[in-house]
Amino acid sequence: MNSLVTKIEDKTAIVGVAGLGYVGLSLAVEFAKGGYQVLGVDISQERIAQILQGESYIIDIKSKDTAHLVQSGRLKVSRSYDLLRDADTISICVPTPLRKTKDPDTSHIRLAIAEIKRIFHTPLLIVLESTTYPGTTRELIANEIEQLGYKVGKDFYVAFSPERVDPGNLTFNTKNTPKVIGGATKRCTEIARKLYDKVIEKVVVVNSTEEAEMIKLLENTFRSVNIALVNEMAQMCDRMDIDIWNVIGGAQTKPFGFMPFYPGPGIGGHCIPLDPMYLSWKAKTYDFYNRFIELATDINGNMPHFVVRKLSRILNERKKPLNGSKILILGIAYKKDTDDIRESPGLEIYRLLKKEKCSVEFNDPYVRSFEEGGKNIRSKKISAGMLKKYDCVVVSTDHTHYDHTFIAKHATLIFDTRNAFKSIKSKKIVRL
């Protein structure tokens, strides 16, 4: 342990990162900028090629920073885990999706551990950052490596530290977002804390890997449930002909006991649509059924359908059937000022409208195109002429790049699901 601690303290430790997506690449860059030699592995040949060319495919990381770190030799990447043979620490940041049955898919974690076991050496610190159910770190990492004859907390060290990446956030990033860490043993926790302390402004220590895993799921379940509540309120207010946005605005004037959440066309990204289901699945193994999670998932997942139903009503009031209408979706990313389309409600709205035989196109300053039905659907450039040709512009994502005044002036009809046009008074703007 002492040799590993010394290496971490004097920054001679070699830091490995498995998985170079939104979480992994951000972490790798932060460690490299902090003075460590970083080795990154990803199964995507495209990602590896882009990094080696000095290009960043993550919106929050500048290409010039990636290029500098690669050129200086501070950041090295490969598709092969053989690169990590000399790593003193390995942070696992691989995807954890859901299967179609809504069960956790831990295959990427299992693959990473199988590769790490192949190149395993002591002492080694392994930190899992991929969101997963309580018990995963101990079951799939600590126990697996102990089967090789090593003792966790003595020969090797294991911890869980939930990722808290928020793409497009201009205030909080990897460095200044508090980092939770829980180890399989006290020694594991302490060594992991020492490592992350070197590059993260604040590290929060908890008692175990299970506590750290549960913290991440609580954070996202909290958001999922509260978003579902306000989405259900939005549907109720729509039926009562009450403006939900004005209701929220009035409620948030209360200086205590209320936290504003906002309705929208659905929820996207990796975290909120998927992570609570990990907790729900694990709870069932204890004969505990989390009704809040199931209900929130149902409400949020059906918001794109509500958007399309309301759009049909809006067009019908103007003697225009949904079938055959020309629709422009404004923003296809799941949140503003990012290119992340994972689980985006905009994509689901696109699919639903296509099923209704609409002519659908989209504009997004951050997303050039997406694949749908074997076709490459490209973003359309906004102009006065193109806006006028659509029967309705559906605002799915409100990027700060949009000129609301220009769009409101030239569009025939706007269905605003994000309250983006709140400052513009016009009868052709209909809010969610």
Active site residues: 271
CA dihedral 133, 136, 139, 145 (to 10 degrees): 170
Tokens read off for 300: 């949020």
Contacts of residue 207, Cβ cutoff 8 Å, sequence gap at least 6: 182
Residue 64 exposed, middle or buried by CB count within 10 Å (0-12, 13-18, 19+): exposed
Q: How far is CA 130 from CA 24, 54, 72, 102, 137, in A?
A: 10, 25, 29, 17, 10
Count of Cβ atoms closer than 10 Å to residue 376 Cβ:
9
Count of Cβ atoms closer than 10 Å to residue 48 Cβ:
18
Give SS3 for 228.
helix
Q: How far is CA 48 from CA 79, 129, 139, in A?
A: 7, 20, 30
Tokens 């990990």 belong to which residue?
278
Residues linked to residue 41 through DSSP beta bridges, in sequence order? 18, 78
